[in-house]
């Protein structure tokens, strides 16, 4: 049983609503906690601290990873004026973050898993372990590593638009991801695309694996 939320981008109200919903169950945040176009620096820090001080499983997104030391990429929205502080917090709390998580038969990553990434196995727990182990290997060697070693095998889970490309999504793996902004979540038997960052209707969408359905929250209340 778990409660999932897509991209947050500094929205502390969204974090509170997420954490308050069925607080006895596992909560999984699917990355992109920073780089808001509307939330000020202080609110983005509040968002990050709320999550890190909770029991939620925290996955990394591309808008988080590009603030780490020896970044693999830099995305649009990078906030140069806040980068040093974001890096201090993320680097000081790396143990709170991972890149994949398996729960209730679902594989959770930030940007989705392609068929090539999943060709070794369709076991979601094994895939989560594989990606997390690759990430730990990268962290341990990142100052000296050739970054091209990681452009594909680990990091499509951060930043590649497998959902947009459609046929790149692994069909043998049930997965939940964010990264690609939608008006409302896209739910199928094999995947759930959960990023509604700027939907404009003051709604926060969650996915409840126990109920097997979406939940729409508004002003911290279930609609």
Q: pTM score, two decimals?
A: 0.90
Strands 213-218 and 203-208: antiparallel
Q: Which of 48, 67, 68, 72 is nearest to 58 (CA)?
A: 48
| CA 56 and chain centroid, separation | 12
Between 33 and 151, residue with greater pLDDT:
33
CB neighbour list of residue 8: distance below 8 Å, 6 or more residues apart: 14, 15, 18, 29, 32, 33, 47, 51, 197
Q: How many domains does the chain have?
A: 1
16 φ, ψ (degrees, to nearest 5): -65, -45
Find where tokens 């043998």 sit.
172
pLDDT band at residue 101 under the 50/70/90 scheme: very high
- Here the CATH number for the domain that contains residue 128 is 3.60.21.10
Choose the weakest-confidence range: 29-33, 91-95, 216-220.
Answer: 216-220
Q: What token pair was written down for 188?
A: 């199928």
Distance from the first to the final alpha carbon of the chain: 21
User: Mean pLDDT of all residues in the chain?
Assistant: 85
Between 152 and 35, residue with greater pLDDT:
35
CA distance to 16, 106, 185, per residue, from 169 (Å): 31, 14, 16
pLDDT band at residue 168 under the 50/70/90 scheme: confident
Please list the alpha-helical segments (H only) found in 166-206. none
Judged against a pLDDT cut of 80, whether residue 99 lies above it is answered with yes
Judged against a pLDDT cut of 50, whether residue 220 lies above it is answered with no
Please list the alpha-helical segments (H only) found in 1-40. 12-20
Report yes or no: 59 and 97 within 8 Å, Cβ to Cβ. yes
What are the pLDDT digits (tens) for 184-197? 899 998 899 998 87
Question: Which residues span the domain enclosing 127?
Answer: 2-222
């Amino acid at each position: 049983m778990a409660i999932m939320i897509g991209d947050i981008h500094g929205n502390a109200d969204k974090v509170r609503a997420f954490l308050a919903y069925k607080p006895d169950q596992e909560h999984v945040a699917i990355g992109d906690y920073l780089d808001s176009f509307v939330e000020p620096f202080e609110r983005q820090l509040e968002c990050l601290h709320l999550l890190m001080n909770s029991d939620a499983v925290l996955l990394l997104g591309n808008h988080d990873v590009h603030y780490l030391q020896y970044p693999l990429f830099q995305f649009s929205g990078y906030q140069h004026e806040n980068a040093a502080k974001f890096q201090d917090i993320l680097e000081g709390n790396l143990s709170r973050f991972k890149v994949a998580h398996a729960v209730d038969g679902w594989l959770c990553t930030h940007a989705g898993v392609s068929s090539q990434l999943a060709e070794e196995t369709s076991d979601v727990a094994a895939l989560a372990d594989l990606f997390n182990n690759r990430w730990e290997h990268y962290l341990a060697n990142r100052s000296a590593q050739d970054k091209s070693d990681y452009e594909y095998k680990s990091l499509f889970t951060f930043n590649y638009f497998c959902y947009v490309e459609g046929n790149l999504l692994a069909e043998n793996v049930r997965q939940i991801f964010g990264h690609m902004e939608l008006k409302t979540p896209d739910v199928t038997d094999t995947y759930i695309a959960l990023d509604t960052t700027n939907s404009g209707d003051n709604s926060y969408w969650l996915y409840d694996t126990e109920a097997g359905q979406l939940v729409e929250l508004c002003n911290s209340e279930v609609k």
